[in-house]
Amino acid sequence: MQISPCPPLIEGGWENLKALFGVVLKEEMMEKINHTIADIKLLDEKSMAEARIRQDGLTKPQGSLGQLESLSIQIAGIKANPRPRITHKVIFTLAGDHGVTQEGVSAYPSEVTPQMVGNFLRGGAGISVLARHVGARVVVADLGVASVLEQHPDLKNKKVAMGTQNMVRGPAMSREEAIRSIEAGIDLVEEELGKGIDVLGTGDMGIGNTTASSAITSSITGTDVASVTGKGTGLKDEDVDRKVKTIQKALGVNRPNPKDAIDVLSKVGGFEIGGIAGVILAGARYSIPVVIDGFISGAAALIATVLSPLVKSYLIASHQSAEQGHKIILKFLGLKPLLNLDLRLGEGTGAALGISLVEASVKILDEMATFAEAGVSEKN
């Protein structure tokens, strides 16, 4: 058999075809993210107005439960229900490794990431204890741990790659990997919808991920690196200097475009951070209040809100982290934290405590008696 020569269109057109294929791939891959974003609604004003009326009729001076009152009204708007209830509480704790740890930016070795995943699965970690305390279930997922994790019925395998590349030498990941990490986060939420999610919390595990989060925060908020870089898990002062210089170098090498969240994520992000951004987007898309944890979840929230500013109204800041860049994130997002306990563990520990306050706020709205019901006299 004689092989016929390639027709002219294909011959000499490989580069065109690859480029075309690349665009199609990119569009297809962004499809899930774009659909998710397109389905995010404004909060329901009618439910919020009804919730406000009910709050003002409850047996207490108006406004005397402060942030618990405004929180309950936000939840009413998110759920389009003037008297929402919370039964199913879910914390998504996503793990990934960071190539930038080669630069000595963390007080702990990378092997701690998979070890801590094991600790989550055995119920011995901080998030395990606090999730039990508040009655939440924890979904643990591998988004990009740099080792092969043993299979476990409670571990979701969403591995995009074996850790990111070292961001001082080039992008932490490809644009496609960045998209896949966000989509994996969306998938995680969608896979849990059947079991019920009335409120969700975000959490992270990843040695080196405060470095990635500082880089993201500096890029998106336009703040200088030193102001958003802290001690992470416990660096010494001189090591923080090196961390700052590493991030400055990475931003110089990669020049992420702050208007393009996928670009920022791919250049200086992490797989678990992309995953958390996906969890946040999906939370908003499915009308679920999103309780964000500390600095890493905050960086993910920056990614998510650049993709869709509507997401902001679905966010609840559980706490103000001890990590200094977090304050800048919360200010940028216009969020007031519920707690300020100098936490800096991550994993979703702050989110767990925040979820309990969210639940308290809707119970107040739902269960308290009104002045009329209780026969209590109103204000003079």
Q: Which residues of the shown chain bind a second copy in the complex (CB under 8 A)?
A: 58-68, 106-109, 111-112, 115-116, 118-119, 122, 124-126, 128-130, 132-133, 233-234, 322, 338-345, 349, 353, 356-357, 359-360, 363-364, 367-369, 373-380
* CA 30 – CA 303 distance, rounded (Å): 15
Residue whose tokens read 């802290």: 230
Q: Which is nearer to a second copy, 173 or 358 (CB)?
A: 358
Q: Which is nearer to a second copy, 131 or 282 (CB)?
A: 131
* CA 80 – CA 121 distance, rounded (Å): 35
* CA 193 – CA 184 distance, rounded (Å): 14
Q: Which is nearer to a second copy, 228 or 235 (CB)?
A: 235
Nearest of 84, 202, 83 to residue 139 by alpha carbon: 202
- Identify the helix (H) or strand (E) that includes residue 291: strand 290-292
Q: How far is the CB of 238 from a second copy (least distance, A)?
A: 14
Q: Taking a C-beta distance cutoff of 8 angstroms, is the pair 145, 159 a contact?
A: yes
Q: How far is the CB of 175 from a second copy (least distance, A)?
A: 33
Q: How far is the CB of 134 from a second copy (least distance, A)?
A: 8
* CA 237 – CA 243 distance, rounded (Å): 10
Catalytic residue numbers?
Answer: 347
Q: Which is nearer to a second copy, 71 or 220 (CB)?
A: 71
Q: Which is nearer to a second copy, 210 or 219 (CB)?
A: 210
Q: How far is the CB of 316 from a second copy (least distance, A)?
A: 12
Length of the chain: 380
Other Cβ atoms closer than 10 A to 268: 31
Q: How far is the CB of 377 from a second copy (least distance, A)?
A: 5
Instruction: Report the first-to-last Cα separation within the chain, whole angstroms.
Output: 101
